[in-house]
A and B are shown apart, each in its own frame.
Chain A
Amino acid sequence: MTLIINGEEQDVAATTLAALLDVLEYEGEWLATAVNGELVHREDRAAFTLGERDRIEILSPMQGG
């Protein structure tokens, strides 16, 4: 399935958001995720089914002013 992950097109074999994070080796409790402009809570990732060309944002904490 083709997905747009953090602005870049990628072909990934994962059907849920949780599976996608696993496949791409994202780990840690500090990630925030959104699909097509909507927040997906961490506890909802396993049940969240991805569709072709979904836009996924994966963010983590960083320094800020």
Chain B
Amino acid sequence: MLKLYDVTVRSRLLLGTARYPSPAILAEAVRRSKTEIVTVSLRRETAGGKAGGAFFEMIRALGVRVLPNTAGCHSVQEAVLTAKMARDVFRTDWIKLEVIGHHDTLQPDVFGLVEAARILTAEGFQVFPYTTDDLVVAEKLLEAGCHVLMPWCAPIGSAMGPVNPQALRSFRAQFPDVPLIVDAGIGRPSHAATVMELGYDAVLLNTAVANAGDPVAMAEAFALALEAGRLAHAARPLEPRDMAVPSTPVIGKAVFA
């Protein structure tokens, strides 16, 4: 079981709700993934518009917990206001805090992130910060009151998977008691399994499922990979070696020549 602030969940997958071929496929992918937490966002509503309401009702019907995000915010002020507006709509203190610092890489502005995290925790929010694998920034986020950290493993939507496994290893070792969720950059179930083998607590992803040829099947594939990776971590995997080591014992081997 995974404890995120005061909530305990069984599933290790947090699933985004964007870019699916249809609302029906999104709903089925959520069900097959067995996720208990989905991310949502806020956007300008047109006068008389019903789009937001329809989406809101659909998510409610799925019976999962929502984690609103501040996606697209490039300043502390924007992110803080978006978080407050999200709390007003979704009635949760949870917020996936994104303060974007770079247009092309969507790399977090970690200075703004720490500042926004400080402001929001003081206002009673439970912050899930989308951050880099920088250890010093992570320390500052914990000092700011975050009890969960969400380092990227590659740029958002890039599907590259863990580009710097060593950094993720150090990050895990540095914060053994903090729930760590890899957020962004996962492209395949094998990537998710890899970070779980490194000891991460959960994975947040969206595009890897939503843009797959069959999002529903891929949702299930990720659920299985997460379980396999977690089990493997608990079972303590072998470390790679430089040379071959025979797996069949040589003692008692027949000598024919």
Chain B contacts for A60, CB-based, 8 A: 42-43, 45, 49, 51-53, 55-56, 89
Q: A26-B45, A61-B56, A65-B71 are in contact. Are A39 and B84 (CB under 8 A)?
A: yes
When the two chains form their complex, are residues B41 and A32 in contact, meaning their CB atoms are under 8 A apart? no
How many B residues have CB within 8 A of the partner chain?
Answer: 39
Indicate which residue in B42, B47, B48, B156 contacts A61 across the interface (CB closer than 8 Å): B42
Chain B contacts for A38, CB-based, 8 A: 81
Point out residues on B near A: beta carbons under 8 Å: 16-20, 26, 39-53, 55-56, 59, 68-69, 71, 77, 81, 84-86, 88-90, 156-157, 206-207
Chain B contacts for A26, CB-based, 8 A: 45, 47-49
Chain B contacts for A39, CB-based, 8 A: 81, 84-85, 88
When the two chains form their complex, are residues A59 and B85 in contact, meaning their CB atoms are under 8 A apart? yes
When the two chains form their complex, are residues B41 and A61 in contact, meaning their CB atoms are under 8 A apart? yes
When the two chains form their complex, are residues B52 and A64 in contact, meaning their CB atoms are under 8 A apart? no
Beyond known contacts A6-B44, A28-B53, A37-B81: 11 more, CB 8 A cutoff: A7-B44, A26-B45, A28-B50, A31-B89, A39-B84, A61-B42, A61-B56, A63-B18, A65-B17, A65-B71, A65-B157
> Which residue of chain B is the closest to A57 with respect to CB atoms?
B44
Point out residues on A near B: beta carbons under 8 Å: 5-7, 24-28, 30-34, 37-39, 41-42, 57-65
In the assembled complex, the Cα of A65 lies from the Cα of B210 at a distance in Å of 10
In the assembled complex, the Cα of A26 lies from the Cα of B41 at a distance in Å of 19
